Chains A and B, each alone.
Chain A
Amino acid sequence: MVMDITPTTLLTLALLGYVSGSLSGLVFLRHEKLANIFSFGFATLAALCGALACVLSLTAGPNAEAVYLQLMPTLIPYLQFTVHLDALGAFFGLIVSLLGCALSLYSLGYVRGFYGRKNVGVLGAFFNLLLLATTLVFLADNAFFFLMVWEIMALSAYCLVSFEHEKTETRNAGVLFFVMSHIGTGCIMLGFLLLFQASGGYGFDGFHALGERFSAAFHDRNNPDFPAALHQLLVRRDAAFLLFLVGFGVKAGIVPLHTWLPAAHPVAPSNVSALMSGVLIKTGIYGLTRVFFDFLGTPPMWWGVTVLTLGIISAVLGVLYALMQHDLKRLLAYHSIENIGIILMGYGAALMFLHTGHPLLATLALIAGLYHTINHAVFKGLLFLGAGAVLHATHTRDMEQMGGLAKRMPQTAFFFLVGAVAISALPPLNGFVSEWLTYQSLLQGFGTTDSLLRLMFPIGGALLALTGALAAACFVKAFGITFLAQPRSDAAANAHEVSPTMLMGQAILVAACVFLGLFPTLFLKVLDPLTQQLTGLQISKDLTLANGLVLSGVNQAGGTVSTLGIAVLSVGLLLVPFVLWLAFAQGTKTRIGPTWDCGLKGLTPRMEYTATGFSKPIRMIFKALFRPSREVQREYDFSPYFTTSIRFEAHVEEIFETRIYRPLQRLVLSLSRRMRALQAGSLQAYLIYIFITLLLLLVFAL
């Protein structure tokens, strides 16, 4: 019997694969090689199946069978373990599977660095569990089930972050992640409870139907005899919006809820950092998409304004703080905040357009956000893998110790450069495409409303340009200081290229970057079922011109761009330098010589520009934000002009931590100290508390 390859079978295989990967990690706890091969091998295959399932289901067309899976029988009312692969879930499932595949392949080589030091089996088990839980988050069809897998995801991520728990930094980051993550989960729970109150069930279908009721009530709100019950419904909806925004915002890393992100992402093993930055924070974006565009109905104006503003703030602050880092992975983590901001700019614009009744533009803005979501997953995954390769080769994350790696690790350098160009939104790669779509929707948005709010769109566009240019500056620094010039330490000087599986993992993501960059019109077709589900429109045809060569705004007059054309033409234009060479330079020779050293005795790595020096102008220009402080101590023998040794220390204040979180933390600690009086340790007292609580609850119930 030949088994039909349907999304359902593939999906089942993928889930089983993750389970087996997880179990084999535990079975081979004492055999690190076997644990590595089996757990990450299973993960690679499972992710491959998952990716295929998602692509099949996205391209299946409107008449395809819905993909439902019942994982377990329903034992408790409301708690149904149903998996439903709808278009939105499939899109995010594609992201986790694509990245999971590349990362697992990379891990096969990467975790060898832990042999003899750490337990690889544990890493493999939790890695698979995280992939499984994340996949299920995107597929869950019921709020209870969603929260369960959400929690499993958070816990397995916590275990992975704390993997190298012998370092204090790691432990602190792990705890911060744990606390923040649970604040978020609490908000999401409350949000779902509000939705449950209104719809009477926990199924996502019920929530979807609720969305239509919300919309109807919202359109009716200016009616003179608008019932008070409906008015209350709308107030609850606003509360749910805020709760979900905070809850999912923590996970996504929106400023000011972002502080856990730059702490937790760098300390995890690099394959895990890539998974966290690429996929885990996207679960927040998934939640926001699901709730905003599927459950909550037509939004009021202020939702869009809030989201757009938060997006702009996150984008600009994320990149500014990223510029100040010289820890390569921390720098990348801050860039995740920036990119989440860019995604939210698309979402905020989409919400505003939905409010003003421009579904076409809303779809464009939504597509911009979704496109940037997959783009960020791909290039940030790639960059973290590159950083991991560098860490693997040099055993340091500090850029000031690196340099000259382009010669020692040529492939990794090339892959990292591709990622850097992509994340800086430079044509012709994928970051440019999604930012182009964002710009287009912002530009077209100017005509949608007459209020002063429309000024937000061009100003947002200008700040997006600022973000892009600062990101480019940051990646010139990240790539230039890490890979170019002379090595700044022995570790960097003795670095070697990493193993083939690690390179292959990166190559997959490079290919994805190039594909998403050069063939956007092909990829937009995949988004059609998704926008059909969320806004009721399919606009890939409107965005495609000249047989898919050219990407256009919603109308051709609005502007067009062709990344493929640009790429092909730039290869063609190489003819010009070639002709010049033929005409003039054929007889010339090339000599390798020392860099100009002003007639001194040769340059040393200490004379090179440093990462801190590179970003100094920006630190000075934005000093109101950074509040830089520095401390210089000189020692000299007989005159201050002849310094014998110098010590220099520079700090940048992380304003959210010092101004918001530290005071908050002190407040919480002092409150809990007072609460301790209640916790006297005597059983009788506790029984009395329980009794009083019960009485109070009874009083309330009556």
Chain B
Amino acid sequence: MKPDLLAILLQMVLLLLLSPFISGCIRNWKARLQNRRGPPIVQPYYDLAKFLRKDMVISEHASWVFSAAPYVVFITALLVGLMVPMVTTRAPLSLFGGVLAVVGLLALGRFFLALGGLDPGSAFGGMGSSREMTLAALAEPALILALFTVAITVGSTDLSHIVTTAQQSGWDLLNPAHLMAFAALFIVLLAETGRVPIDNPATHLELTMIHEAMLLEYSGRYLALMEWGASIKQLVLMALLVNIFLPVGLAPDGSVAAFGLGLVIFLGKILVLSAAVVLVETANAKLRLFRVPDLLSAAFVLATMALLSTFLFH
């Protein structure tokens, strides 16, 4: 019942250390697939260390909200990470919140991120905030509906409970309901992590960026916290996706051997999903802003169909 301090620590270390690696992998593989050499996989670690050591420049128009935002973004990402089962079936903080708290905390981080974008008074930041909040508003119903579809079959919003049940009943991935819910969540993943058809993480062309536009005025350790928070969020959403729909290899208890095996399998699953993201990013061009709602409504429709088919097959 009590949250296990050791488990919290371990998972936190995993989140902190693994998340830049995944970002690095995606960046590197994407470059390779596009016949570029690309930055080394460990580049994000260098970046973070560099940002942390740099002096900061803060806009003269910014208020305390600007300084609070990086902490909120970073800490909500960590908290969400502790609520999602990664290597073991039991997330260290599953008692403190399930699916709904995950969605809520992500929204809290986004809320402050958008305020941080507005605070320096630059038009870019405002544009980024406006677009981020709009797209999030469209992604969130699809996210909740897809998660609800899973939660309803299990009768619980507790992620550990969902994952355990999934493992026991041996759901096959070919179940149409699950395939569609997975597809919906995958689109939401792309939107939430600012990936290509929706946003371009590599662009610094002012008029097209969304996430980067909000970070434009951040520097030094605030930027480090923002970037790190974003990559933790990415890792967490990926973990959510792979562990709900493919709960293979999650360690049922805390034994070291099971934990080690679980870690290896988890890494493998995440890397496969990253590869899928890389493929999607390379094969697609960024959509025009007002075409993105179509994609996100497609996610919503997929989630609705997933729900309908659960309903029909039960």
Contact = CB atoms under 8 A, between A and B. Distances in A.
B282 interface: no
Interface string A403-438: 110110010010001000100111100001000100
A590 B58 contact: yes
B171 interface: no
Taking residues whose C-beta sits less than 8 angstroms from the other chain, chain B's interface range is: 35 or more
Contacts of B126: 480, 608-609, 613-614
Contacts of A573: 75, 78-79
Contacts of B156: 557-559
Interface string B32-57: 00000000000000000100111111
A560 B158 contact: yes
Interface stretch (A96-104, A227-235, A252-260, A617-625): A617-625
Interface stretch (B22-30, B107-115, B172-180, B268-276): B107-115
A616 interface: yes
Contacts of B52: 580, 583-585
Nearest to B128: A609
Interface string B118-153: 111111111101110110111111111100110110
A451 to B, nearest CB: 11
B98 interface: yes
B132 to A, nearest CB: 9
Contacts of A608: 121-123, 126
Contact of A462 (B93, B120, B144): B144
Contact of B134 (A440, A483, A553, A618): A618
B297 to A, nearest CB: 9
Given A417-B65, A593-B59, A569 B130 contact: no
B250 interface: no
B300 interface: yes
Interface string A551-588: 00100011111100110011001101100110111001
Contacts of A404: 61
Contact of B141 (A454, A462, A557, A577): A462
B145 A566 contact: no
Nearest to B113: A476
Interface of B is mostly: helix
A475 B127 CA distance: 15
Taking residues whose C-beta sits less than 8 angstroms from the other chain, chain A's interface range is: 35 or more
A193 interface: no
B65 A609 contact: no
Contacts of A426: 104, 107-108, 111
Contact of A476 (B64, B118, B149, B307): B118
Interface in A135-189: none
B1 A546 contact: yes
Contacts of B3: 565
A425 B307 contact: no
Contact of A591 (B49, B55, B118): B55
Nearest to A593: B57
B95 interface: yes
A596 B293 contact: no
Interface string A532-564: 000000000000011000100100011111100
Contact of B53 (A425, A477, A584): A584
A593 B60 contact: yes
Interface stretch (A36-44, A301-309, A465-473): A465-473
Interface string B288-307: 01100100000010011001
A463 interface: yes
A401 to B, nearest CB: 15
B75 A584 contact: no
Contacts of A204: none
B293 to A, nearest CB: 5
A75 B292 CA distance: 69
Contacts of A396: none
B95 A550 contact: yes
A588 B105 CA distance: 30
B186 interface: no
B266 interface: no
A497 B137 CA distance: 34
A108 B293 CA distance: 48
A446 interface: yes
A618 B136 CA distance: 11
A463 B216 CA distance: 33
B97 A421 contact: no
Contact of A596 (B71, B97, B216, B224): B216
A224 interface: no
B236 interface: no
A575 B254 CA distance: 26
Given A458-B152, A608-B121, A608-B126, 10 more contacts: A407-B63, A425-B107, A454-B311, A455-B307, A566-B79, A573-B78, A577-B74, A584-B53, A595-B217, A621-B290
10 contacts: A406-B65, A476-B115, A476-B118, A484-B121, A546-B2, A546-B95, A560-B95, A570-B79, A584-B52, A595-B121
Q: Give the top 10 A-B pairs by smallest Cβ distance, nearest first.
A: A609-B126, A559-B157, A485-B121, A473-B133, A480-B118, A584-B52, A465-B144, A406-B63, A469-B137, A462-B145
